[in-house]
């Protein structure tokens, strides 16, 4: 199958805009880009109407099955709803211009297979299956009432583990379930009761054991971590990325640069939750809001320091904690901490692709995968253009239109 896109302006970060270009796609690959008319027999010719063509975005921190992580809903809903939620969430994500996601907990191998088989419109996915969490830690959903609210079923392992032997076995179980990377809850969090974001979780031996076992399969390890001590523990253990990084400081930022550790700050999620709140029936809403008040206050300032020190920052949103489909609003927050529009776009395209080991994704280039978005205005002039899904006119995934 061949598709020809005519009369578009191509934006690749840190390059001059290529104006009035024509792009030939064969099967799922960009085969030719030319300012001259391309003569080819095509199944589909698209008039780009002088709009802007970019790589489809990669959200490096999502939860595609999740709808707020409300324990009350987990308790009330039949298990099937957990899976069916992914269908509208996926469409919302695609319509926002995100063609690939890195799921940091809750999605399983069934989603990856369904996407590959085109059972419904969905972003490509890198899976962590379920986060590793210590007893009493963030995402340990065993409540004081004695009810355990963690969703489990055949093929989806429970994440709770303690001690070197248990974390070793749990890492292997998650690998067996189809994970592409390992996710670890290395500090307290906002949404789990009886934990606090500033405190580290798991000890150094446990963290090193996880990294060593993941490394045996050449897998990266990612840390949910707000805590400064937790971040330093993870850096020393050999983690590849820190998610959130709320209390990061200059010294720790420098360690991350030295050790090649990336940061996915998810700036959007805290501000969105603090602004919009929680459902009225959420009995833990007051506790969560109190934590958010402190986090929102320091997060932006600290991530600005990390950016100044040269930490590799990647775009991630924590969608699923907040409603899906707001993904590219994160780019506004990234420019607020000092990034240029080009740097912000790169954090969700070429830089994200490099981090995930996808060397033919993230740019509009010949021989790259044809995951593309067509936008009605130049986002280099105003990055907020990308935050309005109506401005994203078309989305292509593997050369096929998934939004028009």
Please give the pLDDT value at position 152: 87
Pull the structure tokens for residue 330. 């994160």
- What is the rounded average pLDDT for all residues in the chain? 95
Mean pLDDT of 365-378: 98
Task: Check if the beta carbon of residue 346 is closer than 8 Å to that of residue 338.
Answer: no
Please give the pLDDT value at position 1: 84
User: Residue 293 — very low, low, confident or very high, per pLDDT cuts 50/70/90?
Assistant: confident
Q: What domains, with CATH codes, occur in the chain? A: 2-55+362-403 (2.30.40.10), 57-355 (3.20.20.140)
User: pLDDT tens, 210-233?
Assistant: 999 999 999 999 999 999 999 999
Instruction: Express as a percent the part of the chain with pLDDT over 90.
Output: 84
User: pLDDT tens, 149-193?
Assistant: 888 899 999 999 999 999 999 999 999 999 999 999 999 987 777
User: pLDDT tens, 76-131?
Assistant: 899 999 999 999 999 999 999 999 999 999 999 999 999 999 999 999 999 999 99
More confident residue, 319 or 41: 319
SS3 per residue for the chain: CEEEEEEEEECCCCCCCEEEEEEEEECCEEEEEECCCCCCCCCEEEEEEEEEEEECEEEEEECCCCCCCCHHHHHHCCHHHHHHCHHHHHHHHHHCCEEEEEECCCCCHHHHHHHHCCCCCCCEEEECCCCEECCCCCCCCECCCCCECCCCECCECCCECCHHHHHHHHHHHHHHCCCCCEEEECECCCCCCCCCCCCECCCHHHHHHHHHHHHCCCCCEEEEECCHHHHHHHHHHCCCEEEECCCCCHHHHHHHHHHCCEEECCHHHHHHHHHHCCCCCCCCHHHHHHHHHHHHHHHHHHHHHHHHCCCCECCCCCECCECCCCHHHHHHHHHHCCCCHHHHHHHCCHHHHHHCCCCCCCCCCCCCECCEEEECCCCCCCHHHHHCHHHEEEEEECCEEEEC
Q: Mean pLDDT lowest for which of 4-18, 132-146, 375-389?
A: 132-146
Please give the pLDDT value at position 144: 84
Please give the pLDDT value at position 143: 83
More confident residue, 358 or 292: 358
C-alpha span between 309 and 315 (Å, rounded): 17
User: pLDDT tens, 48-90?
Assistant: 999 999 999 999 999 999 998 877 788 889 999 999 999 999 9
Please give the pLDDT value at position 280: 62
Q: Is the per-residue pLDDT at 314 higher than 90?
A: yes
User: Residue 281 — very low, low, confident or very high, per pLDDT cuts 50/70/90?
Assistant: low
Q: Is the per-residue pLDDT at 291 higher than 80?
A: no
Please give the pLDDT value at position 190: 78
Please give the pLDDT value at position 42: 87
């Amino acid at each position: 199958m061949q598709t020809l896109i005519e009369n578009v302006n191509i934006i690749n970060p840190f390059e001059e805009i290529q104006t009035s270009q024509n792009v030939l796609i064969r099967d799922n690959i960009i085969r030719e880009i030319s300012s001259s008319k391309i003569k080819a027999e095509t199944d589909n010719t698209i008039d780009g109407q002088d709009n802007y063509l970019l790589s489809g975005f990669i959200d490096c921190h999502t939860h595609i099955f999740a709808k707020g992580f409300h324990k009350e809903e987990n308790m009330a809903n039949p298990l099937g709803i957990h899976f069916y939620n992914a269908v509208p969430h996926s469409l919302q994500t695609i319509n926002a211009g995100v063609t690939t996601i890195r799921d940091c907990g809750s999605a399983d191998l069934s989603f990856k297979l369904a996407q590959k088989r085109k059972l419904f419109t969905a972003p490509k996915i890198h899976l962590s299956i379920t986060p590793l969490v210590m007893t009493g830690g963030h995402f340990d959903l065993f409540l004081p009432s004695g009810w355990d609210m963690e969703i489990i079923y055949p093929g989806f392992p429970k994440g709770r583990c303690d001690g070197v032997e248990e974390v070793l076995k749990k890492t292997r179980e998650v690998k067996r379930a189809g994970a592409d990377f390992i996710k670890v809850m290395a500090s307290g969090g906002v949404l789990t009761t009886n934990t606090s974001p500033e405190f580290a979780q798991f000890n150094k031996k446990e963290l090193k054991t996880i990294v060593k076992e993941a490394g045996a399969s050449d897998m990266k390890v990612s840390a949910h971590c707000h805590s400064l001590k937790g971040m330093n523990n993870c850096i020393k253990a050999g983690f590849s990325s820190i998610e959130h990084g709320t209390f990061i400081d200059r010294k720790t930022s420098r360690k991350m640069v030295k050790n090649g550790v990336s940061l996915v700050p998810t700036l959007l999620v805290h501000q969105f939750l603090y602004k919009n709140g929680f459902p009225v029936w959420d009995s833990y809403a007051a506790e969560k809001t109190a934590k958010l008040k402190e986090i929102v206050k320091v997060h932006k300032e600290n991530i600005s320091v990390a950016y100044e020190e040269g930490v590799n920052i990647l775009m991630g949103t924590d969608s699923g904690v907040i409603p899906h489909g707001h993904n590219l609003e994160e780019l506004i927050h990234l420019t607020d901490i000092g990034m240029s529009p080009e740097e912000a776009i790169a954090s969700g395209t070429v830089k994200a692709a490099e981090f995930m080991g996808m060397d033919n994704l993230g740019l509009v280039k010949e021989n790259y995968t044809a995951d593309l978005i067509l936008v009605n205005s130049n986002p280099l002039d105003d990055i907020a253009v990308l935050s309005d899904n109506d401005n994203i006119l078309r989305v292509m995934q593997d050369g096929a239109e998934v939004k028009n």
